[in-house]
């Protein structure tokens, strides 16, 4: 029985409104002089670059901006970012944007240090050592990529999302300034916010560390549930329950934006040590085929997977209901767990997440292929509390169709 677990994070977390002002100082403390910024045109247009650029320039740091990021970035987009980065020759890479740009920046930091191409690193523990110093500055509240060990890119040739998983991908500095998320439109707020909830729920309901089914001789970034992960995931779930609706309804609600920024970091810390599970395994082929946002795909699938997993994690689901603000007094675990699923369904509807796969443009004849692709993602599926077969996965997709 495995009873040892570890916990990893970004080396330094700087959190709070106006945290951007501390960026130059933080970079200088780490001896960084030439910073390659990876962002995208929408984030530039929203003005998120201004406080970042001002803080770095004020401290005499040279900055080159690459704005070729795109949502759910492809391996090809990563190659372009790498090419631009190589031409500049930075001593650090800064990702500014949603998870898409942060993930691109991580890929640049890997390849500029270790060579090769993005595809060489797909899978787990393929990054051979420390990467170029990474600073991640999220402008959405959701993915937790600023503290996570993952990069997710889209393999357009094979129509699937691919993951690169390594503790070397954790940034040196995660700088989380909730003010940067004020310009997120409601859809981006909703989609990224429910991704944070999915991270926390999948971590909180994961298989226990003591029973984590790791094949002999394999190492895994994900390790199953442990007390530290539980504590963090509980906080994240509660924050999403309190603040996500508010942030979607009124983008200028500073308290809600701050609450969601914290929820995203906590969700990232929980999932990137404990693991994500069947929701993410199913979203990878769905998102790869229909190009929905990662958050919309996850949010859609989350209650269906919770219902499938219920026999294996009823007490945890019961607690999730309470964390989401449901009145569970007098209910047994089974009834309270039902409330958790209902609460997520209601939240999903309230913030405008699509309710059925067909609403995303999925065709029924694609479901089996999605299940066959998902079953191969064992690094994620082995985190799921209830073991899954291809038929099980197809069943979940059919229920969600």
Asked if residue 186 lies in contact with residue 248, where contact means CB atoms within 8 angstroms, the answer is yes
- Match 């690193």 to its residue by tokens: 121
> Is 9 near ligand NAD (CB under 6 A)?
no
With CA atoms as reference, report the closest residue to 305 among 270, 357, 261: 357
> Is 103 near Fe ion (CB under 5 A)?
no
Across-strand partners of 392? none
How far apart are CB 283 and ligand NAD at their closest, in Å?
8
- Provide the token pair at 164: 């690169």
User: What is the residue-wise DSSP string for 35-74?
Assistant: EEEE--HHHHHTTTHHHHHHHHHHTT-EEEEE----SS-B
How far apart are CB 3 and ligand NAD at their closest, in Å?
26
Residue 124 interacting entry, from ligand NAD, Fe ion, none, C-beta within 5 to 8 Å by type: none
d(CA 33, CA 41): 24
- Provide the token pair at 336: 């309270």
How far apart are CB 48 and ligand NAD at their closest, in Å?
5
> Is 74 near ligand NAD (CB under 6 A)?
no
Across-strand partners of 36? 64, 93
> Is 295 near ligand NAD (CB under 6 A)?
yes
Residue 188 interacting entry, from ligand NAD, Fe ion, none, C-beta within 5 to 8 Å by type: ligand NAD
Residue 150 or 377 having the CB closest to ligand NAD:
150
> Is 177 near Fe ion (CB under 5 A)?
no
Residue 191 or 195 having the CB closest to Fe ion:
195
Residue 24 interacting entry, from Fe ion, ligand NAD, none, C-beta within 5 to 8 Å by type: none
Asked if residue 181 lies in contact with residue 23, where contact means CB atoms within 8 angstroms, the answer is no
- Residue 392 DSSP SS3: helix
Residues 148-167 contacting ligand NAD, CB under 6 A: 148, 150-152, 161
> Is 234 near Fe ion (CB under 5 A)?
no
> Is 140 near ligand NAD (CB under 6 A)?
yes
User: CA dihedral in degrees (181, 186, 187, 190; nearest 10)?
Assistant: 70
How far apart are CB 150 and Fe ion at their closest, in Å?
8
296-315 burial, b for 16+ CB within 10 Å, e for fewer?
bbbbbbbbbbbbbbbeebbe
> Is 191 near Fe ion (CB under 5 A)?
no
- Segment contacting ligand NAD by CB under 6 A, of 180-188, 239-247, 321-329, 388-396: 180-188
d(CA 319, CA 317): 5
> Is 294 near ligand NAD (CB under 6 A)?
yes
- Segment contacting Fe ion by CB under 5 A, of 80-88, 192-200, 217-225, 333-341: 192-200
Report long-range pairs for 15-18 (Cβ below 8 Å, ≥24 apart). Answer: 15/176, 15/261, 15/262, 15/265, 16/176, 16/177, 16/178, 16/258, 17/177, 17/178, 17/179, 17/254, 17/258, 18/51, 18/177, 18/179
Residue 105 or 298 having the CB closest to Fe ion:
298
How far apart are CB 297 and ligand NAD at their closest, in Å?
9
> Is 235 near ligand NAD (CB under 6 A)?
no
d(CA 281, CA 384): 10
Asked if residue 236 lies in contact with residue 199, where contact means CB atoms within 8 angstroms, the answer is yes
Binding mask 23-52 for ligand NAD (x = CB under 6 A): -----------------x-xx--x-x----
Q: Which residue is nearest to ligand NAD (CB)?
A: 98
> Is 238 near ligand NAD (CB under 6 A)?
no
User: Radius of gyration over alpha carbons of the chain, in Å?
Assistant: 20
Instruction: Find the binder of Fe ion among 40, 103, 191, 195 (CB under 5 A).
Output: 195
> Is 223 near ligand NAD (CB under 6 A)?
no
User: Footprint of Fe ion on this chain (CB under 5 A)?
Assistant: 195
User: Footprint of ligand NAD on this chain (CB under 6 A)?
Assistant: 40, 42-43, 46, 48, 71-72, 97-101, 103, 139-140, 142-145, 148, 150-152, 161, 180-181, 183-184, 188, 191-192, 195, 294-295
């Amino acid at each position: 029985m495995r009873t040892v677990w570890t916990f990893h994070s970004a080396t330094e977390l700087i959190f709070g409104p106006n945290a951007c002002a501390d960026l130059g100082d933080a970079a200088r403390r780490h001896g960084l002089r030439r910073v390659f910024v990876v962002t995208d045109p929408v984030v530039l247009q929203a003005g998120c670059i201004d406080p970042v650029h001002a803080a770095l320039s004020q401290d005499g740091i040279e900055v080159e901006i690459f704005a070729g990021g795109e949502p759910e970035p492809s391996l090809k987009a990563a190659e372009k970012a790498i090419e631009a980065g190589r031409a500049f020759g930075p001593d650090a890479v800064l990702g500014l944007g949603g998870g898409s740009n942060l993930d691109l920046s991580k890929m640049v930091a890997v390849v500029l240090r270790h060579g090769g191409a993005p595809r060489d690193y797909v899978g787990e523990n393929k990054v051979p050592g420390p990467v170029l110093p990474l600073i991640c500055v999220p402008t959405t509240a959701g993915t937790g990529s600023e503290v996570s060990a993952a990069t997710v890119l889209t393999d357009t040739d094979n129509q699937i999302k691919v993951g690169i998983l390594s503790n070397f991908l954790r940034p040196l500095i995660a700088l989380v300034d909730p003010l940067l998320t004020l310009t997120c439109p409601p859809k981006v707020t909703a989609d990224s916010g429910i991704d944070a909830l999915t991270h926390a729920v999948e971590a909180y309901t994961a298989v226990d560390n003591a029973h984590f089914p790791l094949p002999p001789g394999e190492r895994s970034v994900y390790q199953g549930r442990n007390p530290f992960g539980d504590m963090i995931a509980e906080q994240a779930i509660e924050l999403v329950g309190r603040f996500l609706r508010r942030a979607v309804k009124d983008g200028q609600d500073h308290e809600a934006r701050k609450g969601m920024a914290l929820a995203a970091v906590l969700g990232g810390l929980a999932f990137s040590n404990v693991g994500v599970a069947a929701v993410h395994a199913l979203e990878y082929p769905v998102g790869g085929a229909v190009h929905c946002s990662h958050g919309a795909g996850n949010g859609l699938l989350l209650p269906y997977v919770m219902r499938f997993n219920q026999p294996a994690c009823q007490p945890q689901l019961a607690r999730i209901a309470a964390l989401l603000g449901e009145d569970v007094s007098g209910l047994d675990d089974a009834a309270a767990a039902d409330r958790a699923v209902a609460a997520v369904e209601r939240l999903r509807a309230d913030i405008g997440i699509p309710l059925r796969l067909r609403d995303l443009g999925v065709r029924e004849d694609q479901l089996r292929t999605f299940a066959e692709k998902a079953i191969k993602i064992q690094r994620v599926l082995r985190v799921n509390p209830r073991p899954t077969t291809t038929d099980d996965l197809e069943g979940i997709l059919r229920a969600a169709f």
